[in-house]
Amino acid sequence: MSATAIPVVRRPVWRRLIGFNMLTGLVLGIAGWFLGAWVGGQIAVGHDYLLGTDQNDVGAFVGYLFAVIGWLVGLGFANYPIGRLLGRPPTLRHHELGGWTRYFRLCTDHKVVGIQYLFGVGIFFFIGGLNAMLMRTELLRPIEKAWPSGQYLTLVGLHGTMMIMMTSAFILGPFGNYFVPLMIGARRMAFPRVEALTFWLTPAAGLILMSAIAFGGLPFGWTGYAPLAVEGRGGVDAYVTAFILIAISLTLVGLNLLVTIVTMRAPGMTWTRLPIFVWGVLATSVLMALAAPVLVATMTMVLMDRAANTSYFLASAGGSPYLYENLFWFFGHPEVYILALPGFGIVLEILPVFTRKPLWGYRLAVAGMVGVMLLSFMVWQHHLFVSGMNAGLRPFYMLTTELISIPTGFIFLNAMGTLWRAQIRFTVPMLFALAFFFNFLIGGLSGVFLSDVPSDVTTHGSYFVMAHFHYTIMGGLVFAFFGAVYYWLPKMLGVVLNETLAKIHFWLMFVFFNLTFMPLFAAGFLGMPRRVSAYAPHLQVLNDFVSVSAFVLGFSMLVFLANLVWSLVFARIPAAENPWASRGLEWQVPTPVPVENFERIPVIRSGPYEYGVPNAPAVADFTPAALPAAGS
């Protein structure tokens, strides 16, 4: 195999720090920020209507632009184009050297990118969670107590934005990148350099978003409704830039996975043999590629309003706040399904393995995902039922919104059919997958209240909405994510996670997730608006209960972290090649997965879920004689 033929050069640690890596990217990024801020200041002189306010948005945006360029150059993204201009031959090889340092560099191996995503996104997920803990600290008291309200609102914005940004890539990033090529029998993604770029934009976006609090914070939720965002302090510039970066990243992730799945399937991997997780990824990719660019446009308009004195969203100057709400939710609602669909894929992928039964109603599951994908573009105005815009269209959006529960219902029928007369093994991934269905059931059914206009007049903008989407995103996506972590980590990291700690994690998380968010439906019904730092005194008991539950929920994440560190660093029990006895193609390759994945491109012989089928053929033929060898 040609990949292993490349000699790995061992260098001393200090030498490895120099070169095109994360550290260089950070240094050049910070230098770029100062340079950009200065350049932006020069541009703004005499033009910026905000001069005299010490808030130079032109400088901020040019600063962030240069910082991102510096970050990418430092990581080595300029090397390949420059090398090609100088006549070097196209190759991916030099990115794929072994050693631990490749996790901190530009690497085009989809498995390395998957692990980079897992840890990168995970770190920001924990920061977002920390913000939630700090918010719940404030809400222990009905009056403004722990943090000043500007700072509290910044926590709200930071938590929401960080979570939405990071959880959008929560499953497609780590597991989509790592497992889609393995599951479809490919050696790499369609665009490996783009794949590396999508990851390295993510920490840039996260760090820029974190910088918001150094410039006065972002005192609004993740939605950043426009007139408020336009008048906000310098932290809004960070929010806008971070969202633009993450939207570019999501668009590219979507396109990359879409092309990979459509064009790079192994022979015999027909559409009806495609693992259901890959179908989920496919549907999500379409949403990402179509919806995320709208966010880039929306945020660019906010940027213009702030830095270039336009007035897209300022009513007194001829703009309209409705424009922002429409554009934002045109992205925002498909975004919700960007979060949900990969979760569907994962739980339906896990269920057959631990019921030892075929996925019941495979075509129905595919139809469900594609149906959700299509409908998700036609419902966005249900976020605006009381906004006073297009009141005559409310029945239409009520109908489309409720129609989504039909394809979503398919997923539940698939699960129920798969459980029917099964041989259920309650492993940790299975527990998370089953909890997903319980949480998503509550989340989905509470959504029906919000889709019904008369009921929505009460629940809109209240804690009821907040509880609803935490049930679908946290209870759905995050539970599916942890299911995937426990299911696939043995293959990704080559170690076994401690099962006792994993079960403690699961039960704490499941119980206290429900204890945290179930009472919030009541809080919303009782009239508590979202994003408040002070609330009516009679709601204090409820809120204190929620806060304490939330702290335990936060603690359960630390159990997971301890488990990960313990298993990965200390115990290091090597994982079996196929510990779950799964028929999935990804489990048929050795652990750790070789750089080229497959010695030869396999020929798929049967579907991935044919458990219990008498005389079912092996899932694939790994040594087909007729096909060319690797490295061609």
Partner 1 sequence: MSTAARLALVAAGIAAGAALIAYYIASYLTQTPPVVAATGNMPSASLTLQTVASLGFKPHPDWVSYLAKNPAGKWVHSTVLRVPAHSTINVTIYQFDTATGLRNPFWGEPRGIANATMTVDGKPLKVLDPDLASHTFAIPDLGVSVPLKGVADDAKNQCSVAPCTLAEAHTTVKFSFKTDKPGKFRWQCFVPCAAGFPLGFGGPMQSLGYMDGYLEVVG
Partner 2 sequence: MTTAASAQIPRHGIRIVLIWLVLTAIAAPLIVFVLGPHLPPGNMTSEAGSQRDANVLLTALLVPIALLVVTFFVYSFVVFRNRTGGIVDGPPLFGDAGVQLLWIVLTGAIVLALAVWGSYTLIVSSHGAGGGQGPSPVDQPKGHEHALPVQVIAQQWEWTFRYPTYGGFESRDLAIPDNTLVAFHVTSLDITHSFWAYELGVKADAVPGVDDIAYVNARHTGFFQIRCAELCGLWHAHMAKKGRVLSLPAFQAWIKAAKQKNAVVQKYLAPYSDVYFPAPLRRAG
Residues 146-175 that bind partner 2 (CB under 8 A): 149-150, 153, 156
From the list partner 1, partner 2, none, partner contacted by residue 403 (C-beta under 5 to 8 A by kind): partner 2
Work out which of 66, 239, 330, 535 binds partner 2, going by CB under 8 A.
535
Residue 9, judged by CB atoms within 10 A of its CB (0-12, 13-18, 19+), counts as: exposed
Residues 68-127 that bind partner 2 (CB under 8 A): none
Q: Which residue, among 197, 191, 363, has the nearest Cα to 263 in the 3D structure?
A: 191
Q: What angle do CA 517, 523, 527 make, to 5 degrees?
A: 150
- When asked if residue 507 is in the footprint of partner 2 (CB under 8 A), the reply is no
- When asked if residue 1 is in the footprint of partner 2 (CB under 8 A), the reply is no
Residues 435, 479: Cα–Cα separation, whole Å: 7
Three-state DSSP class for residue 429: helix
Closer Cβ to partner 2, 111 or 357, answer by number: 357
**In the complex, what is the shortest distance from the CB of residue 220 to partner 1, in angstroms, rounded to a whole number?**
11
- Eight-class DSSP state of 620: E
Residues 28-67 that bind partner 1 (CB under 8 A): 49-55
Residues 415-474 that bind partner 2 (CB under 8 A): 416-417, 419-426, 434, 437-438, 441-442, 445, 448-449, 451-458, 460-462
Task: Compute φ and ψ for 629, nearest 5 degrees.
Answer: -75, 170
Work out which of 87, 388, 570, 628 binds partner 2, going by CB under 8 A.
388
Three-state DSSP class for residue 197: helix
Residues 426-455 that bind partner 1 (CB under 8 A): none
- When asked if residue 320 is in the footprint of partner 2 (CB under 8 A), the reply is yes
- When asked if residue 579 is in the footprint of partner 2 (CB under 8 A), the reply is no
Residue 176, judged by CB atoms within 10 A of its CB (0-12, 13-18, 19+), counts as: buried
- When asked if residue 216 is in the footprint of partner 2 (CB under 8 A), the reply is no
From the list partner 2, partner 1, none, partner contacted by residue 565 (C-beta under 5 to 8 A by kind): partner 1
**In the complex, what is the shortest distance from the CB of residue 610 to partner 2, in angstroms, rounded to a whole number?**
7
Work out which of 13, 85, 100, 316 binds partner 2, going by CB under 8 A.
316
Closer Cβ to partner 2, 138 or 195, answer by number: 138
Three-state DSSP class for residue 518: helix
Asked whether 373 and 341 are in contact (CB, 8 A), the reply is: yes
Residue 377 neighbours by CB under 8 Å, 6+ apart: 290, 291, 330, 333, 334
- Dig out the tokens for 629 from the structure: 């060898």
Q: What angle do CA 112, 113, 114 make, to 5 degrees?
A: 90
**In the complex, what is the shortest distance from the CB of residue 217 to partner 1, in angstroms, rounded to a whole number?**
7
- Eight-class DSSP state of 54: T
From the list partner 1, partner 2, none, partner contacted by residue 572 (C-beta under 5 to 8 A by kind): partner 1
- Find residue 279's DSSP bridge partners: none
Instruction: Determine the residue type at 281.
Output: V
Task: Compute φ and ψ for 184, nearest 5 degrees.
Answer: -100, 0
CA distances from 100 to 104, 151, 252, 629 (A): 8, 39, 26, 28
Residues 43, 108: Cα–Cα separation, whole Å: 37
Residues 368, 408: Cα–Cα separation, whole Å: 6
- Dig out the tokens for 560 from the structure: 């997971």
Closer Cβ to partner 1, 480 or 497, answer by number: 497
**In the complex, what is the shortest distance from the CB of residue 116 to partner 2, in angstroms, rounded to a whole number?**
34
Closer Cβ to partner 1, 127 or 496, answer by number: 127
Q: Which residue, among 153, 163, 169, has the nearest Cα to 220 in the 3D structure?
A: 153
From the list partner 1, partner 2, none, partner contacted by residue 131 (C-beta under 5 to 8 A by kind): partner 1
Strands 603-604 and 620-621: antiparallel
Task: Choose the binding region for partner 1 from 206-214, 245-253, 275-283, 405-413 (rule: CB under 8 A).
Answer: 206-214
**In the complex, what is the shortest distance from the CB of residue 308 to partner 1, in angstroms, rounded to a whole number?**
12
Task: Compute φ and ψ for 599, nearest 5 degrees.
Answer: -60, -45
Residues 228-267 that bind partner 1 (CB under 8 A): 230-233
- Dig out the tokens for 36 from the structure: 């950009």
Task: Compute φ and ψ for 529, nearest 5 degrees.
Answer: -75, 160
Residues 12-31 that bind partner 2 (CB under 8 A): none
Closer Cβ to partner 2, 69 or 424, answer by number: 424
**In the complex, what is the shortest distance from the CB of residue 294 to partner 1, in angstroms, rounded to a whole number?**
24
DSSP letter string, 346-391: HHHHHHHHHHTSPPTTHHHHHHHHHHHHHHGGG-GGGGGTTTTS-G
Work out which of 363, 561, 576, 618 binds partner 2, going by CB under 8 A.
363
Closer Cβ to partner 1, 375 or 559, answer by number: 559
Q: Which residue, among 594, 551, 536, has the nearest Cα to 136 in the 3D structure?
A: 551
**In the complex, what is the shortest distance from the CB of residue 319 to partner 1, in angstroms, rounded to a whole number?**
10
From the list partner 1, partner 2, none, partner contacted by residue 438 (C-beta under 5 to 8 A by kind): partner 2
Q: Which residue, among 175, 166, 171, has the nearest Cα to 130 in the 3D structure?
A: 166
Residues 344, 414: Cα–Cα separation, whole Å: 10
Closer Cβ to partner 2, 259 or 526, answer by number: 526
Count of positions on this chain that bind partner 1 (CB under 8 A): 42
Task: Choose the binding region for partner 1 from 209-217, 335-343, 409-417, 609-617 (rule: CB under 8 A).
Answer: 209-217
- When asked if residue 552 is in the footprint of partner 1 (CB under 8 A), the reply is no
Residues 571-600 that bind partner 1 (CB under 8 A): 572
Residues 93-132 that bind partner 1 (CB under 8 A): 123, 127, 130-131
Work out which of 74, 128, 129, 221 binds partner 2, going by CB under 8 A.
221
Residues 307-366 that bind partner 1 (CB under 8 A): 314, 316
- Dig out the tokens for 519 from the structure: 């009472």
Task: Choose the binding region for partner 1 from 80-88, 186-194, 377-385, 559-567 (rule: CB under 8 A).
Answer: 559-567
From the list partner 1, partner 2, none, partner contacted by residue 102 (C-beta under 5 to 8 A by kind): none
Cis peptide before 592 (omega within 30 of 0): yes
Closer Cβ to partner 2, 586 or 610, answer by number: 610
**In the complex, what is the shortest distance from the CB of residue 258 to partner 2, in angstroms, rounded to a whole number?**
27
Binding site residues, partner 1, CB under 8 A: 49-55, 123, 127, 130-131, 134, 144-151, 154-155, 210, 213-214, 216-217, 219, 227, 230-233, 305, 314, 316, 561, 565-566, 569-570, 572
